[in-house]
Amino acid sequence: MYLADRTWPELGARLSEESVAVVPLGSTEQHGPHLPLATDHLIAEALASAAAEEADVIRTPTIQVGVSPHHRQFPGTMWVDPPEFREYVEAFTRNLAYHGIDRVVYVNAHGGNVQHLREVGRRLHRDGTTYALEWMWDESIPELVDELFEHNGPHAGPKETAMITHIAPELVREDQLENARDDGLVHLGDSDAFVHGARTFYDSVDNSANGAFGDPTDVTPEKAERLFEAATDQLVQLVEWLEARDREELLPKERVESSPY
């Protein structure tokens, strides 16, 4: 159920009975010459919508701008700084807790958000407000991603191209797929991204002139559908696992008073 489509009387009883909400988060940032800036938040919203319908839980509005300063050199990229992002997501989640939601899954599709969502979850857990988990879609199906694509790429590569091919194929610039591959970076090992164990780059443009990584030409509608369905299934299973937990099980544990030995 999408929260924002309902009236408050329709939501009143439902929210008091509901325990889990899914919150889609992404970014508005460059995704090479072939994918829209909306890529990440479109993926998060589509997965959250599909899982919320199947698991019969609440889906909130999508948080569309994330922590993306490392893509700032590309026109149109938007970002918020980490402290402001964390404060906003925390306040957003406390709103849900006020209305009776005590478990939240952050359905995330942007790597730059990960550590900040985990920190917000830690804060909310520490004071017992709610139990919030960060879920990154491609981290839920790494074996399948590796099976489907020889050159994945961490950003604007085949896995994200496949997801947009499935969700909104009209937004994929198919005439730019080869340019994305040839003018981007297919093999991260071909760059000086890591030298003697040190990560040498701060911005995406340091490694890829057009912002794309991997080989997005290695995508078919069949692969795209398989990827989307597998990620959705993992999210549904996570929501069901969370629903089955007792609240006491999720609250912070008491201080250990004595050694068990």
Domain boundaries, the chain: 3-249
Percent over 90 (pLDDT), the chain: 86
Q: Model confidence over 121-157: pLDDT tens digits?
A: 999 999 999 999 999 999 999 999 999 999 988 899 9
Specify the pLDDT at position 192: 83
Q: Which of 60, 63, 64 is nearest to 21 (CA)?
A: 60
**Torsion angle of C-alpha atoms 40, 216, 159, 107, degrees rounded to 10:** 0
pLDDT of 101 higher than 80: yes
Mean pLDDT of 174-191: 91
In this prediction, residue 59 carries a pLDDT of: 98
Mean pLDDT, the chain, whole residue set:
95
Give the pLDDT confidence of 202-249 residue by residue, as tens digits: 999 999 999 999 999 999 999 999 999 999 999 999 999 999 998 888
Average pLDDT score over residue span 87-114: 97
Task: For residue 158, give the nearest of 134, 178, 183 by alpha carbon.
Answer: 178
- Asked if the model's pLDDT at residue 16 lies above 80, the reply is no
**How many angstroms separate the CA atoms of 161 and 166, rounded?**
9
**Residue whose structure tokens are 């919150």:** 23
The beta strands (E) that lie in 33-109 are given as 58-59, 103-108
**For residues 47 and 93, what is the distance between their CA atoms, to the nearest angstrom?**
19
On whether the pTM is more than 0.85, the answer is yes
What pLDDT, on the 0 to 100 scale, is given for residue 236? 98
Is the distance from CB of 161 to CB of 214 less than 8 angstroms?
no
Give residue for tokens 């890529």.
39
Asked if residue 113 has pLDDT above 90, the reply is yes
Q: Can you tell me the distance from the alpha carbon of 45 to that of 22, in angstroms, rounded to the nearest whole number?
A: 10
Confidence at residue 190, expressed as pLDDT on a 0 to 100 scale? 80
**What pLDDT score does 259 carry?**
75
Task: Using the CB atoms, write b or e for 87-110: b if 16+ within 10 Å.
Answer: eebbebbeebbeebbbbbbbbbbb
Give the CATH architecture of domain 3-249. 3-Layer(aba) Sandwich (3.40)
Across the range 50-67, mean pLDDT stands at 97
pLDDT of residue 167: 98
- The pLDDT confidence band at residue 199, using thresholds 50, 70 and 90, is confident
pLDDT for residue 18 is more than 80: no
Pairing of β 198-199 and β 194-195: antiparallel
Question: What is the C-alpha to C-alpha distance for residues 31 and 71, in angstroms, rounded to an integer?
Answer: 9
Tell me what pLDDT residue 7 has.
Answer: 95
